[in-house]
A and B are shown apart, each in its own frame.
Chain A
Amino acid sequence: MPGDVIASGDFRYGSYIEKRGDQYVALRLGLAEVSSDGIRLNPLTGPYLPRVEDQVVGKVIDAPGFGWVVDINSCFTGYLPASFVFGRDFSPATHDLSTKFVVGDIMGARIESFERARDPQLSIRGPGLGKITSGVIIKMSPTRVPRLIGKRGYMVNMVSSLTNCDLKVGQNGVVVVAGPEEGVAKVAQVISMIENEAQGADLTRNVQDFLGGGEQVGSQA
């Protein structure tokens, strides 16, 4: 909980932790892990704050002329410059922004740069990024996204194969699910399960049992 001393001594420490003297103090409500490698705090609640290289799912909310303003489910709006899409020779006189994205379009994007004084800049260069044309949008808590992805993508791949759905998971807590209606409904239930039981130890097994994929249990740690 905020203000709690997690450990004292000499450790490496990650986000949401502050060092006061030789004590490491939590700044958020979450689960702390202390090991010889360092201290980590996995927050259980909180807003999405962009970090460079994060993959996000966003919605175009404006196209003011030289790029697109994208809602990335954060207190900061993303900006995708038109030159990242049309190339360096972009000119508003010769290129029409609406040929690529219009207001309301959904896209998968990567946070290209973010500094405190400016809104995050997005890029759609990379595999699986760009306009998303089909699927259902499901929102979840950004702090639970790592549990949906799982170790090396284990959980998301398992959910995807057991429901025959394609999942695009944004680290901002927006998930686009495309596939059969029944599968989409199951994914929505799995996401709600992950949100409610994120701190549980048997989450992967519970999700497998729920999706009826018991025989596919692997050696996930």
Chain B
Amino acid sequence: MEAKRRLIDDNGLRLDGRKWNELRPIKMEVGNLKNADGSAYIEFGKNKIVAAVYGPREVHPKHEVIADRALVRARYHMAPFSVDERKNPAPSRREIKISKVIKEALEPAIIVTDYPRTAIEVFVEILQSDGGSRCAGIDAASLALADAGINMRDMVVGVSAGIIDDQVVLDLDDSEDKEGSGDMPVAFLPNLNQVTLLQVDGIYTREKFQKAFELAIEGGRRVYEMQRKALNDKFFGGAPQVVAAEGGEA
């Protein structure tokens, strides 16, 4: 039987040279797709993801209309060339499940009651996959929603934590996800401090669970700052935002 390879070396560095609490390099751009109402592109390590938002728009089929609020739909899809071996482009069980959790992670942030009888559709297209794509997809989708000008209570941030070599680490890549012993994708609303997605895979002690969760939140706050910068770059040309305040605390 093949010996399990070590994912953290003697210096405490992971296979790609990161420390336990380090994120992969992240790049975000907003508004790349002209035909979508809102869009974003994200590179999260080797993940390359495009998110597009259409709506609010008419609901089809009509029987799915909700009288007092918007219907939120999300589609997570991996391109056939996004992984080493060709992936069948038809939606797999995993993609249907991830579409559902992305929808449920984004919906609490959207003020759906502002858009009765309409549909808000979010498409997350994975061009290149390297573990943690649902979280990166949520980050991109949240940017695309803000770009589309949909009323939101807060942005949504997703980051995963997990366990490799019996140690809690932040932001697992594909090999760590496959060879590690636990993965915990978390999405939350950073200003409201509300969790909208928490999935756990693996066996955790109470302490490790707590540590992984807190690490994901802490990493998510760093991602949130990058989201802000990406929006700032597009809409304000990177200039600092100044709010003039009189008669109150701004």
Contact = CB atoms under 8 A, between A and B. Distances in A.
Contacts of A11: 247-248
Contacts of B247: 9, 11, 34-36
B32 interface: no
A46 B149 contact: yes
Interface string B55-90: 111100000000110000000000000000000000
Contact of B155 (A1, A9, A35, A76): A1
Contacts of B243: 6-7, 32, 34
Interface in A43-82: 43-47, 49, 75-77
A150 to B, nearest CB: 21
B1 interface: no
B153 A45 contact: no
A3 B154 contact: yes
A29 interface: yes
A-side binding surface: helix, strand, loop or mixed? Answer: loop
B149 A47 contact: yes
B151 interface: yes
A49 B114 CA distance: 9
Contacts of B116: 116-117
Given A18-B153, A27-B151, A44-B235, A75 B248 contact: no
A16 interface: yes
Nearest to B109: A2
B191 A116 contact: no
A44 B149 CA distance: 8
Nearest to A34: B245
B155 A27 contact: no
Given A2-B109, A116-B68, A117-B116, A46 B148 contact: yes
A96 interface: no
A14 to B, nearest CB: 13
Given A2-B109, A2-B146, A116-B116, A47 B56 contact: yes
Interface residues of A, number: 35
Contacts, number: 103
Given A2-B155, A3-B155, A27-B111, A35 B246 contact: yes
A10 interface: yes
Interface residues of B, number: 41
Interface in B182-240: 189-192, 228, 231, 235-236
B9 interface: no
B150 interface: yes
A27 B235 contact: no
B45 interface: no
Contacts of A43: 149
A88 B111 CA distance: 39
Contacts of B68: 116
Contacts of A18: 153
Nearest to B239: A199
Interface in A175-214: 199
Given A1-B231, A2-B154, A28 B149 contact: yes
A197 to B, nearest CB: 10
B58 A75 contact: yes
Contacts of B236: 199
B7 interface: no
A33 B244 contact: yes
B156 to A, nearest CB: 9
Contact of B152 (A28, A44, A116, A117): A28
A5 B153 CA distance: 11
B149 A75 contact: no
Contacts of A77: 58
Nearest to A29: B146
Contacts of B171: none
A10 to B, nearest CB: 7
A192 to B, nearest CB: 13
27 contacts: A2-B109, A2-B146, A2-B153, A3-B154, A6-B243, A7-B243, A7-B250, A16-B151, A27-B111, A27-B152, A27-B153, A28-B149, A29-B146, A33-B244, A34-B246, A34-B248, A35-B246, A35-B247, A36-B247, A46-B148, A47-B55, A47-B149, A47-B150, A75-B55, A75-B118, A117-B116, A143-B149
Please give me the 9 A-B residue pairs with the lowest Cβ-Cβ distance, nearest first. A46-B149, A3-B154, A9-B248, A2-B152, A45-B149, A3-B191, A75-B56, A36-B247, A34-B245
